[in-house]
Structure 1
Amino acid sequence: MSVDDAATAVREGHAVVYPTETVYGLGADATDPDAVERVFELKGRSRGKPLSLGVPSVDAALEYTRPTEREERFMRRFLPGPVTVVVDRRPSLPDALTAGRDRVGVRVPDHETALELLERAPPLTATSANRSGAPSVTRVADLDDRIREGVAVVVDGGEAPGTESTVVDPGEGTIHRRGAMSDEIEAWLQAQ
């Protein structure tokens, strides 16, 4: 199905599957607690594990987050890209997304289809389109039936590379999960 179909579905409160430069993502309106809850249900994910926020640009992220000057510099250096940047959130994001925490992971995918969707839809949940504990999905054919049947739209962007995003807290200088570009990120953190 098309990006327009996916954007419409998200605006109507549904979840969708979309391609990124890492793995396939499971997206719903990240500002709608009910839509966020649906993503947790589809993934079978613990409510104590936060989801990330997908947006089309760093400027869009600033509407929902409060990064420090260093964190914003990091974001502008590495986003869009295969990186999830952990920063302070604004109160406009629901507690369901962040598991009640004050910080949120921000993702700006470096993928044309994903960015097109993010431009046309509200901010999305940015989490892999797999059941919790299962391998990440790199091809639409590998989607778990529960996810495939539970989403309104699947946007097929071909095979994804499969390397997870690096999750980093540039304020603390901590890499929480090594993935794509982790050596370059580590060098930046040490040099700043």
Structure 2
Amino acid sequence: MTLSVAQVSYIRDGGIIAYPTSTLPGLGCIPTSDGLDRLFELKARSSDKPVSIGVASLDQVRDMVEIHPEVEEFLSDFPRGCFSVIFPSKETLDARIGGDSIAIRVFDHPVARQLAETVGPVTATSANEAGEEPALTVRDAAIGLGLGEIAILDGKRLTGPGSTFVKFDFKNPDSLVTVIREGVVPTNDVVTWWKNRR
């Protein structure tokens, strides 16, 4: 499905949209203060539980986070969308997207990529209220949250496990890479790549 002109305007005006990912439906807004207010209220999510940011490419967040060249090399050796990487932010940002550390995921789903390419980085969080079971389709997720038709960016769900969350600490060589949550890429593959890197 292609974003309509009305949907682009809706999102840029602070609207929240349900969109497909390689796992469960995501819920996206441009991460402004007002957008995050609406998102966290809609999800009934505690403000001390930050959400990730989804992008079409890391180029979209170079002015937001510090991206070490070795992390880019690491990501280039795995399929797009396998990882959510926690990057240090260049300046303290809204705590609801992590403050000093921002989790960034490069989308692999073509519809999610189109969304980010069109409106810029968007939140990447599950499309459900906190504590509720997530819906399996974008439409069901949007309806369950009381969102209108304009908030539905439908597309085929590409089934698969979630992304692996990793964090790099170049100031601490003893724990340079840490797997926060194992997903599609096993921890052992991450550690092996890092040990064998050029």
The answer for the alignment partner of 1:178 in structure 2 is 182
Instruction: Say whether 1:103 aligns with 2:93.
Output: no
TM-score, scaled relative to structure 2: 0.82
**Range with bigger deviation, 170-179 or 118-127:** 170-179
Q: 1:168 to 1:15 in 2, by over 3 A?
A: same
Give the letter for the 2:147 counterpart: E
Distance 1:119 1:144, change over 3 A: closer
Matches within 5 A, 1:50-129: 50-78=50-78, 80-91=80-91, 93-98=93-98, 101-129=99-127
**Aligned-pair distance for 1:131?**
1.7
The two structures have a TM-score, normalised by structure 1, of: 0.84
Number of corresponding residues: 189
Give, as a single letter, the amino acid of the residue that structure 2 aligns with 1:155.
Answer: L
Between 1:148-157 and 1:102-111, the stretch displaced more is: 148-157
Q: Counterpart of 2:103 in 1: which secondary structure?
A: strand
Tell me the distance in 2 between the aligned counterparts of 1:66 and 1:157. Answer: 32
Q: Which whole-Å CA distance do the structure 2 matches of 1:64 and 1:79 have between them?
A: 23
Q: Does 1:189 find its partner at 2:194?
A: yes
Whichever of the two has the greater Rg, that structure is: 2
* Matching residue's letter, 1:56: A
The 3 A distance-change label for structure 1 pair 151 and 129 is farther
Deviation readout 1:25-83 (Å, 9 max, x if unpaired) = 100002x1110121111111111111111111022222221123333333343463132
- Partners of 1:151 and 1:62 lie apart in 2 by 33
Q: Unaligned stretches of 5+ in structure 1?
A: none
Cα offsets for 1:130-186 (capped at 9, x unmatched): 222233443135426452427851111133415221111133411111111235334
Letter in 1 for 2:190: I
Equivalent position amino acid for 2:179 in 1: I
Deviates more, 1:78-87 or 1:32-41: 78-87
The residue aligned with 2:173 is: none
Instruction: Please say which of residues 70-79 and 104-113 is displaced more in the overlay.
Output: 70-79
Question: RMSD value over aligned CA atoms?
Answer: 2.5
Aligned to 1:7: 8
What is the match of residue 161 of structure 2? 163
CA shift, 1:93, in A, is 4.2
